[in-house]
Amino acid sequence: MALRVLNPNAEVLNKSAALYMNINAAKGLQDVLKTNLGPKGTIKMLVGGAGDIKLTKDGNTLLKEMQIQNPTAIMIARTAVAQDDISGDGTTSTVLFIGELMKQSERYISEDL
């Protein structure tokens, strides 16, 4: 069986490093959106490449406008946007819920459960 390298610049991680990278991506996305939640949530300023400015508190808008690089964070963002497309609400809550699940999974993994 021949081994073929698809991307020579790709970063190769072992299983545990990849797992923690995915958990950290979820926690990072959660940290960005958790201040939006509720009536006292903060407004975020998004600056586009052309210098255009958007002020929003809407999680759906933030997730659509952010340039997310991590594949796990992209999958979480797509899940949250799908939640908003189906029900019209819950984008931020979905991200926070997934982030909290990932935090709990990190705790269990560190305890070898």
Percent of the chain with pLDDT over 70: 91
Distances (CA, A) of 16 to 12, 61, 103: 12, 33, 15
CB 99 within 8 A of CB 29: yes
pLDDT at 14: 74
CB 25 within 8 A of CB 72: yes
Which of the two residues, 110 and 100, has the higher pLDDT score?
100
Model pLDDT for residues 53-94, shown as the tens digit of each residue? 989 888 888 898 888 999 999 999 999 999 999 998 889 999
